[in-house]
Amino acid sequence: MLTPERFEALCCFWQRVWRRKENNVKEGLEMISLDRFAYGPRDPQNVEPVTFCPACGREVYPLDEVYKLDGYLIHAEGTCLADYFHLTPVEARDAWGI
């Protein structure tokens, strides 16, 4: 239960915190934000694509895993690499004629 004494102590505490924050801002220091979205990786929705994958035609973004072949950036996915080289999957016995 919040008694008048506890309420007064809480008010004094938050007044000190607020004064400390104002002093830090004056000194050029800033308190950390407690907002969970204030830190972390940037929003990827606003990032422009670097180029387009010649195999699949999709956009290539800066954080995508890619292979650099012949000056092109190709997604590091099995299908994109196979499409770029026009590869078709076959079984080993068919490839060796067994």
pTM of the full structure: 0.48
pLDDT at position 51:
93
From the centroid of its chain, how far is CA 25?
29
3-state secondary structure the chain: CCCHHHHHHHHHHHHHHHHHHHHHHHHCCCCCCCCCCCCCCCCHHHCCCCEECCCCCCEECCCCCEEEECCEEEECCHHHHHHHCCCCCCCHHHHHCC
**Interval 11-54: pLDDT, tens:** 777 777 666 655 555 555 566 677 777 677 666 677 889 999 99
Higher pLDDT, 20 or 6: 6
**Interval 68-78: pLDDT, tens:** 988 899 998 87
Higher pLDDT, 23 or 84: 84
pLDDT at position 25:
54
pLDDT at position 53:
92
- Rounded Cα distance between 89 and 82, Å, is 9
**Interval 57-69: pLDDT, tens:** 999 988 889 999 8
Q: Please check the confidence at residue 6 and state whether its pLDDT lies above 90.
A: no
